[in-house]
Structure 1
Amino acid sequence: MPTPGFDATAVIHDIGYQRYTGPRLGRVAMQRALFVHGLRAVFGFGRSAKVKAFPWLVAGVMLLVAVIVAAARSITGTVLFTYVGYADQMSLLIIFFAAIAAPQLVSGDLRAGVLPLYFSRPLRAADYVIAKFAAMTAAIWLLLGVPQLIMFLGAVFTGSGVVGELGDLLPGWAYSLLWAVTFAGISLLIASLTGKHAFAAGGIVAVFMMTVPVVGVLASLPSTTANALSGLGSPNFLIAGVGEWLTGRGSQLDVGVGRFGPVYGIEAACLIAVCLLLLLARYRKVASL
């Protein structure tokens, strides 16, 4: 006997659905797509003017500073900032940029609940972390590297030797990469803990700004060793200490890092590695849900 509601005249129509037979690009292509999408999201491409406002304001200010430095050097011969020193001077702007950019990269995915969709494909948690970390690092490095390039071009066009200037620019770019990697790791780790942009941004700013008084307390102790190690208490001063150790330039610390330069380098490497490992553990947990 036919079941209730059964229509004996019903038919199945072939509407042309077919299996995909084209090339399968694999995990590398997915990483590349996530990287490009993340880099566009950081600078607000494809989004409203409200989203674009802050990152491009920061970029504009940093470019303006570079133009002023280049102009001052060409007119008066005064070097306001070196390529390495430029990154130190712009650190506050980078903190606020990271506080806005990192939630755009990861907090939105948590809030929208799209991570199970990502991980339903042959995309691993490590692929996701690598792509987002690379996008954040590239964004911060571009913010520092492009103005440094403008400073370089200004110096070359005013008569400085290309080889000598290039010898100063390349360490500046490497130092900017250190800033970018460190800030990207810390800010993405904090942003990955919440789907709310405001909470993530506030947490990032708090971590960077609230560690500065720790340096002040240690630097005020009546001990040369404590003063030299005080920069280990803040990511900002930690990177500056690594820069002093590698380049031999002056330090933001009162007494410098002295013989403890390798300690700064080891802590910086460990900090970046720990942030990446915790990010990987975080998204492996999300992927397993």
Structure 2
Amino acid sequence: MSEAGVIHDIGYQRYTGPRLGRRAALTALYVHGLRSAFGLGRSAKAKIFPWMVVGILLLVAVILAAVRSQLGEVIFTYVQFDDQMSWLIIFFVAILAPQLMSRDFRSGTLPLYFSRPLRAADYVLAKFAAMVTAVWLLLGVPQLIMFLGAAFTTKTGARGVWNEFLDLVPGWGYSLLWALLFSGIGLLIASLTGKQAFAAGGIVAVFLLTTPVVGVLSVLPSTTANHLAGLVSPMTVIAGVGAWLSDSNPEMEFNVGQFGPIYAIEAVCLIAVCLLLLLARYRKVASL
């Protein structure tokens, strides 16, 4: 005896609204990544570390602005501020990159993303843009505070403010270079594993374990080796670009000599290679 089937109407309706497409998906993914960088929309525990980093950087900027306004002494230039705060940025990237990339592997949401019009290139672009924006804001906003402190206490009026602004713009460009390279390397490493702890450890290792090698090469008898020593570590590659562009960087442990353009070329190549490898990685994932 066969039982008759019954169709139940449980209220499902077809979607009749607008189809927003790839651009809306990319924008939503970017905004979500940027909010995640600062723990917005997440638990209080997730907000502790990013806002602690924000607080430290802002505090340092306020102190530098206060010292300059009261004593007229420039402790750090805008470029030197980035170099001095780079250690905090390393750990910020080591925490953020696995959240943006490794979590999607672990939770299995990538097939869901790529089942829609979103492409692998869109996914990589949104994640990369979100991380670059977050890192740039971490450095750029404190630099703005330093600028405001100098601008409101200048003794040469509008001319002094303009000259200070001309110093700020290269500082912002230098911050963007830090953000681009750190984000590219961090996201690439994080994309290789679904375990956030492993990804964070790998990111820190790449940045910190290559730095002592620079110190060893910088004391070799060869002058050329001393000048090229910074090419070994991503941190000193960027510092080398800063030294070349500013023609002076007393904080560096080595001198780039006449090889400044080589540092700039390597920085650009590293960023491009990281993006290409990320794209290749997620195209492979999307095709599975």
TM-score, normalised with respect to structure 2:
0.95
Match of 2:230 in 1: 231
Contact 2:229 2:254 in 1 (8 A): no
Identity %: 72
Give the secondary-structure state (helix, strand or coil) at the position aligned to 1:258. coil
Match of 1:135 in 2: 130
The Cα shift of 1:86 comes to 0.5
In structure 2, the partner of 1:65 is 60
SS at match of 1:23: coil
Task: Encode CA deviations 1:214-241: one digit per residue, 9 max, x unaligned.
Answer: 1012111101100000000001100011
Inter-partner Cα distance in structure 1 for 2:108 and 2:253:
48
Deviation at 1:121, TM superposition (A): 0.2
Letter in 1 for 2:242: G
Count the aligned residue pairs.
Answer: 284
Q: SS at the partner of 1:90?
A: helix
Matched, 1:147 2:138: no
Partner of 2:74: 79
Q: Is the Cα contact below 8 Å between 2:114 and 2:120 reproduced in 1?
A: yes
Match of 2:87 among 65, 89, 92: 92
Cα pair 1:194 1:200 within 8 Å, conserved: yes
Give the match for residue 270 of structure 1.
269
| Structure 2 unmatched runs, 5+ | none
Paired residue secondary structure (2:258) = helix
Q: Contact (CA 8 Å) 2:80, 2:251: kept in 1 or not?
A: no
Unaligned runs of 5+ in 1: none
- Contact 1:129–1:280 under 8 Å retained in 2: yes
Q: Residue 176 of structure 1 aligns to a residue in which SS?
A: helix
Contact 1:95–1:208, Cα closer than 8 Å, also in 2? yes
- Cα deviation, 1:149-182, whole Å, max 9, x if unaligned, reads 1001111111252211110111100000000000
1:17: how far off?
3.8
Q: Which residue is 1:192 aligned to?
A: 191
| Aligned pairs (5 A) from 1:1-289 | 4-7=1-4, 10-15=5-10, 17-159=12-154, 161-250=160-249, 252-289=251-288
Q: How far off its partner does 1:249 sit?
A: 2.1
Q: Indicate conservation of the 8 Å contact 2:139/2:175, yes or no.
A: yes
Match of 1:174, SS state, is helix
Structure 1 residue 5 displacement after superposition:
4.0
Q: How far, CA to CA, are the matches of 1:252 and 1:159 in structure 2?
A: 26
Distance between the aligned counterparts of 1:184 and 1:204, measured in 2?
A: 10
- C-alpha contact (below 8 Å) 2:37/2:50 kept by paired residues: yes
Q: CA RMSD in A?
A: 1.3
Amino acid at match of 2:25: M
Amino acid at match of 2:111: P
Cα 1:5–1:220 shift into 2, 3 Å: farther
- The alpha-carbon distance between structure 1 residues 18 and 199, as it changes in their structure 2 partners (threshold 3 A), is same
Deviation at 1:247, TM superposition (A): 2.2
Q: Residue 240 of structure 1 contacts residue 251 of structure 1 at CA under 8 Å; is this kept in 2?
A: no
- Give the letter for the 2:56 counterpart: V
Q: How far apart are 1:13 and its partner, in Å?
A: 4.5
Note if contact 1:156-1:165 (Cα within 8 Å) is conserved in structure 2: yes
